[in-house]
Structure 1
Amino acid sequence: MGKIYERLTDRLREFISTQPVYFVATAPESGGHVNVSPKGYADTFSVLDDLTVAYLDLDGSGVETIAHLRENGRVTVMFCAFQGPPKILRLYGTGRVVTHTDPEFPDLLTRFGPHPGVRSIIVVSCDRISDSCGYAVPFMAFEDDRALLDQWSERKDVIQKRAYRAKNNRESIDGLPALEPAETDPVSTHS
């Protein structure tokens, strides 16, 4: 039923590009809370090459992924087919956080659609790519992306975004360090 792939094939890339939602899972090295985050906006995910993917990390109330990746790098990205043939695709690997202070940030940012609340870009080097049947995943119809996160971010000025990130994004719920003070400054351009 399931298969392990040596790389992201054209068929897998097509599957990824048609999914309106994906999930990102991380965990601290020991103890603490495992985190799973749903991600919308299909234009926030990009396949960079046969073994590397990236996604936009947008403003949010938590910062678990950044904290966990900086501690141990372990990450899994999962896609589920809610329409068409059943399929679950998991990309296991090592993730790293790229913020606006990193030289590669501007070039990576061009890979994504326009979103005002870009906090960072998560780059994942895949060491295992596998699928499974997804026979129990329900059929669901995609209506539209929720615009609420982009709208929330557009209503905040630079000072408000900086204050929000300083208050909510400096450490994980388990007290692991996340964004550095210089990284809480909002990106001045949209993705």
Structure 2
Amino acid sequence: MGKQFDALDERQIAFIEKQHMFFTGTAAPEGKVNISPKGMDSLRVLGPNRIIWRNFTGSGNETAGHLALNDRMTLMWCSFTKQPMIMRTYGTAKTIREGDADWNELSAHFPPQLGMRQIYDMHINMVQTSCGYAVPFFEHAGDRDTLKHWADDKGEDAIRTYWSERNAQTLDGFPTGFEDK
């Protein structure tokens, strides 16, 4: 049976820190719901009700477009190891881009990496845990370095061009903030 909490506690934060990946979910008021797996060194818990995560260049940019229309976000972790558990954080989030007032402060939480497109700043209003008994076991074999090599090969100018050409709209045609970049 699932349990709900108003905020993350130390045990739940430790659980997050052990996971190699998480999933993010957003939706505009209408259109497609987006669920994306995330990895790399991209998430920080800043307090019991605040999480930030950096978003790298990708084939789409659904989260930014959805948050411009509807600020709800869900993050989910599930253990693929001995401790069975699924945990979700529900809340609201905003998109932070380079040049925004909070960019320098929030990006300082991460090592520099080419291709960092946005940072999402989430305020948590509910945490829910559930058993995870049906989640299979998987072993973590390591992080992929494909995206890092792709970004390094492209370079900063080509990545910015990619954002304006390939990341300016969601699948449903909503703007993502890169239309005029």
Which TM-score band (shorter chain)? over 0.9
Unaligned segments of structure 1, at least 5 residues? 185-191
Q: Please give the alpha-carbon distance, in whole angstroms, between the structure 2 residues aligned to 1:123 and 1:158.
A: 24
Q: Once the 2 structures are TM-superposed, how far is the Cα of residue 114 of structure 1 from its aligned partner?
A: 3.7
Q: Once the 2 structures are TM-superposed, how far is the Cα of residue 113 of structure 1 from its aligned partner?
A: 3.4
Q: Once the 2 structures are TM-superposed, how far is the Cα of residue 158 of structure 1 from its aligned partner?
A: 2.6
Letter in 1 for 2:100: D
Give the TM-score, by structure 2 length: 0.96
1:94 aligned to which of 92, 95, 99: 92
Q: Please give the alpha-carbon distance, in whole angstroms, between the structure 2 residues aligned to 1:15 and 1:179.
A: 33
Q: Please give the alpha-carbon distance, in whole angstroms, between the structure 2 residues aligned to 1:128 and 1:7.
A: 6
Q: Once the 2 structures are TM-superposed, how far is the Cα of residue 3 of structure 1 from its aligned partner?
A: 1.2
Q: Please give the alpha-carbon distance, in whole angstroms, between the structure 1 residues aligned to 2:128 and 2:71.
A: 19
2:178 aligned to which of 175, 180, 183: 180
Unaligned segments of structure 2, at least 5 residues? none
Aligned to 1:39: 38
Q: Partner of 2:154: helix, strand, or coil?
A: coil
Q: Please give the alpha-carbon distance, in whole angstroms, between the structure 2 residues aligned to 1:77 and 1:176.
A: 22
Letter in 2 for 1:122: Y
- Seen in structure 2, the aligned counterparts of structure 1 residues 37 and 105 have a Cα distance that, compared at 3 Å, is same
Aligned to 2:25: 25
- The alignment covers a number of residue pairs equal to 181
Range with greater deviation from structure 2 (15-24 or 171-180): 171-180
% identity of equivalent residues: 36
1:105 aligns with 2:90: no
Give the TM-score, by structure 1 length: 0.91
Q: Please give the alpha-carbon distance, in whole angstroms, between the structure 1 residues aligned to 2:24 and 2:141.
A: 22
Letter in 2 for 1:47: V
Letter in 1 for 2:37: P
1:143 aligns with 2:146: no
Q: Once the 2 structures are TM-superposed, how far is the Cα of residue 163 of structure 1 from its aligned partner?
A: 1.4
Superposition pairs for residues 1-191 of structure 1, below 5 Å?
1-30=1-30, 32-41=31-40, 43-181=41-179, 184=181
Q: Kindly indicate whether the alpha-carbon contact (under 8 Å) linking 2:22 and 2:39 is maintained by their aligned counterparts in 1.
A: yes
Q: Once the 2 structures are TM-superposed, how far is the Cα of residue 181 of structure 1 from its aligned partner?
A: 4.3
- Seen in structure 2, the aligned counterparts of structure 1 residues 139 and 113 have a Cα distance that, compared at 3 Å, is farther
Letter in 2 for 1:104: D
Q: Partner of 1:180: helix, strand, or coil?
A: coil
